[in-house]
Structure 1
């Protein structure tokens, strides 16, 4: 065989070997990359699942603590006004209301909790987290009475407080068909020994 042809065969063999090694390297890199990506997906997915489960557990624990606090009227005096609204929302949900929303805040026009009762009526609650010595007065009821029906379209309007109501407030509430839940009524509702606001006439 001529020397030039032998040399060409050697060169082609070398090129083929190099190409083969290069292809093998790409395949190995690709496989390794896929393995690392797979491991990353598994680790990431596991972490996401763990975070989701942790959030779910925390949410369940928070709901359990709210259930304990909301069903013990003595805890209401130690709540902030916003916590008190959450407690009343919990009681509404517990007793069969749906579409329960906490709407209290700046510009709420007197409504703190809005819900639909088990019989389909629109319930609007104003929450008054007062000290036991601070009674809810007539002007407080008048402000609520001016918005609960005309603005919030209540079928059932109620004011719930950790305190009591003055005679003037009771008189106005009776005239406007606003249901009043003072300290005793709230305690009975929370402990299931008395009716919810939408259950009294």
Structure 2
């Protein structure tokens, strides 16, 4: 206890010594300024003016950054709202409209060089582009009834398209779910399998790259799938 009080007293002594030194230094500076004011006042005035201008400039720059950041967040939010469709609306789309939706979501997330290539001679690809990190991607889009499933052969076709277009990443986007073998195949071959549940998250604002963290998960349970079978009668 005594040792602790001794350390406290020593710390207070050091603080008082620093304050005393600062006071003496300030006093000496004021005396020197008074003695040589006629010679130094232009420099002091200039330093104060520059300091004031610098402070004002920094505050304006900081305010501008804050305003731009808020505007950017607002625009992103508006883009998400404008691009959102309910899954029921997505189900009513044609295959081409669904490809356009997927291409638009890719652009929203910062993908570049995005273009639709779907058609009778699409070589297994519907959308091509570059991810925000620069990697090339090939996307296959399948707008199927939610009660159906994606078979492994369709993922094999996408792998062929990835080789054909020399793409770094393959993405399969569908309005339905993947069979267990096809989901396993996707994970084993590095295909990002965007099933109905993940499509809903992506459509609601989640980024495409963030979906890769849950690849192979989240397809709903058997009760969820039974409801869709009852609704669609399949």
TM class, shorter-length: 0.5 to 0.7
Name structure 2 gaps, 5 residues minimum: 1-78, 214-234
Q: Give runs of aligned pairs for residues 65-80 of structure 1, distance below 5 A.
A: 70-74=83-87, 75-80=89-94
Distance 2:210 2:80 in 1: 20
Matching residue of 1:81 = 95
Deviation (angstroms), 1:139: 1.1
167-176 vs 78-87, greater mean Cα deviation: 167-176
- What SS class does the counterpart of residue 179 from structure 1 fall into? strand
> Any stretches of 5+ residues in structure 1 without a counterpart?
1-65
The answer to whether residue 169 in structure 2 is matched with residue 156 in structure 1 is yes
Q: Report the TM-score when normalising by structure 1.
A: 0.62
Residues 86 and 102, structure 1, Cα contact 8 Å, conserved in 2: yes
Whether the aligned pair in 2 keeps the contact of 1:117 and 1:198 (CA below 8 Å) is: no
Aligned-partner Cα distance in 2 for 1:69–1:167: 34
Which of residues 81, 90, 97 in structure 1 aligns to 2:111? Answer: 97
Larger Rg: 1
What SS class does the counterpart of residue 146 from structure 2 fall into?
coil
Partner residue, 2:15: none
CA displacement at 1:90 relative to structure 2: 0.5
Deviation digits for residues 58-99 of structure 1 (CA, Å, limit 9, x no counterpart): xxxxxxxx9767412422101000000000010011111111
Q: 1:78 to 1:121 in 2, by over 3 A?
A: same
**Structure 2 Cα separation of the partners of residues 97 and 91 of structure 1:** 9
Structure with bigger helix share is 2
Q: Say if 2:134 is the partner of 1:117.
A: no
**Whole-Å separation in 2 of the counterparts to 1:174 and 1:112:** 21
In structure 2, what is the Cα distance between the partners aligned to 1:109 and 1:197?
Answer: 24
The whole-number CA distance in structure 1 between the counterparts of 2:99 and 2:207 is 18
Partner Cα distance (1:68, 1:113) in 2 = 22
1:164-199 C-alpha deviation (Å, 9 max, x unpaired): 00011112112211110001100101101x331576
RMSD: 1.9
For residues 5-57 of structure 1, what are the alpha-carbon distances to aligned partners after superposition, in whole Å with 9 as ceiling and x for unaligned? xxxxxxxxxxxxxxxxxxxxxxxxxxxxxxxxxxxxxxxxxxxxxxxxxxxxx
